């Protein structure tokens, strides 16, 4: 793994960093839309991983096909998640996972 | 020359992701997410996935990010700075994330990936062949999923018609919730 010859490892490192930052965002933010942004970061990390493997290991476009499906499903998920966010906001008046946790023990 | 472009894109992606995770104002997080998505689109173009890079720009930046910004607009008071909780959750979250990254890094270094050399070629035609050939069924199902998501989002987000209360206690409970 050299500095100037960009190979598979470089893309895997970037995708691992994106995944961990996305996981940190989902775990620590209180705003629901911020958590959704963290989920988008993780989806982008996985998609980048697929494209890197498709280019450097497999040689076909199968990884890019999967990345297109990831983009499609991220769009569907963002639409429904934001509709739910709007419904929650209409009911609770705040978007905060701590304030809206009414399913207590 | 080209490694500099790669490291510039990588820096953009990582710094913007840190901005999404750590920014106090949720709107700044949204704009940092824009930087991340642009950087990832650039990385797709750098690796030779031309169709995917442009699709990422059009759909992710032009669609999903705008949707997220609309949600931020409709559910927050923009002028107010949202102070994210600086409690022990952040330290535990950072430790867990660092451990996960260490694990992924070790696995990546130790696994002997069978790498091949391939020149970057235009992928649009090959993607079209794949979508209409081998991956036709998932493609059609994905369009069904999008239709369901569209209808479902409209159903969830509409203003529900207020049903008349059956009893006085029920009406009082509804009034207390709002």
Over range B23-34, report the average pLDDT. Answer: 91
Cβ contact B43:A14 at 8 Å: yes
Q: What is the pTM of this model?
A: 0.86
Q: Could you report the per-residue pLDDT of B69-100, keeping only the tens digit for each?
A: 999 888 876 555 555 554 557 888 899 999 99
Buried b (16+ CB within 10 A) or exposed e, B47-58: bbbbbbbebbbe
What number of other Cβ atoms are within 10 A of residue A63's Cβ? 23
CB-nearest partner of B60 from A30, A65, A71: A71
B85 vs B41 pLDDT, higher one: B41
Residue A60: partners with Cβ closer than 8 Å, 6 or more residues away:
A54, B126
The reported pLDDT for the residue numbered B160 is 66
A72 vs B123 pLDDT, higher one: A72
Radius of gyration of chain A (CA): 18
Token pair, residue A20, equals: 């961990």
Token pair, residue A31, equals: 């705003």
Give residue B111's Cα distance to chain centre.
28
Q: Is A73 on the interface with B (CB under 8 A)?
A: yes
The reported pLDDT for the residue numbered B112 is 86
Share of chain B above pLDDT 70, in %: 84
Do the Cβ atoms of B60 and A59 come within 8 Å? no
Q: Is A99 on the interface with B (CB under 8 A)?
A: no
A74 vs B113 pLDDT, higher one: A74
Candidates A7, A10, A21, partner chain B, best to mutate (most B CBs within 10 A): A21
ipTM: 0.91
Q: Is B34 on the interface with A (CB under 8 A)?
A: no
d(C-alpha B103, C-alpha B138), whole Å:
32
Do the Cβ atoms of A6 and B115 come within 8 Å? no
pLDDT at B42 over 60: yes
Do the Cβ atoms of A31 and B82 come within 8 Å? yes
Please name which of B145, B57, B14 lies closest in space to residue A41, comparing C-alpha atoms: B14
Token pair, residue B2, equals: 């080209």
pLDDT at A70 over 90: yes
**Angle separating helix axes B88-110 and A8-28, nearest 10 degrees:** 160
Do the Cβ atoms of B105 and A18 come within 8 Å? no
The reported pLDDT for the residue numbered B167 is 60
């Amino acid at each position: 793994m050299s500095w100037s010859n960009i190979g598979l490892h470089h893309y895997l490192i970037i995708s691992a960093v994106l995944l961990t930052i996305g996981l940190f965002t989902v775990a620590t933010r209180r705003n629901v839309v911020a958590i959704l942004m963290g989920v988008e970061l993780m989806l982008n990390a996985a998609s980048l991983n697929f494209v890197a493997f498709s280019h450097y290991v497999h040689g076909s476009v199968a990884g890019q096909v999967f990345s297109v499906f990831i983009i499609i499903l991220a769009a569907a998920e963002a639409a429904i998640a934001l509709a739910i966010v709007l419904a929650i906001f209409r009911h609770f008046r705040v978007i905060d996972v701590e304030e809206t946790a009414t399913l207590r023990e | 020359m080209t490694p500099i472009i790669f490291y510039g894109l990588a820096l953009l992606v990582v710094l913007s992701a840190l901005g999404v995770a750590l920014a106090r104002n949720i709107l700044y997080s949204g704009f940092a997410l824009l930087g991340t998505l642009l950087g990832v689109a650039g990385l797709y173009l750098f690796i030779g996935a031309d169709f995917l890079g442009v699709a990422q720009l059009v759909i992710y930046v032009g669609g999903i990010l705008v949707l997220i910004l609309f949600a931020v607009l409709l559910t927050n008071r923009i002028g107010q700075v949202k102070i994210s909780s600086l409690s022990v959750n952040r330290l535990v979250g950072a430790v867990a994330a660092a451990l996960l990254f260490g694990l992924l890094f070790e696995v990546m270094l130790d696994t002997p990936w069978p790498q091949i050399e391939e020149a970057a070629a235009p992928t649009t035609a090959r993607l079209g062949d794949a979508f209409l050939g081998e991956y036709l069924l998932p493609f059609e199902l994905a369009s069904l999923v999008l239709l369901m998501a569209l209808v479902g989002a409209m159903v969830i987000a509409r203003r529900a018609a207020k049903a008349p209360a059956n009893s006085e206690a029920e009406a009082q409970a509804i009034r207390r919730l709002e």
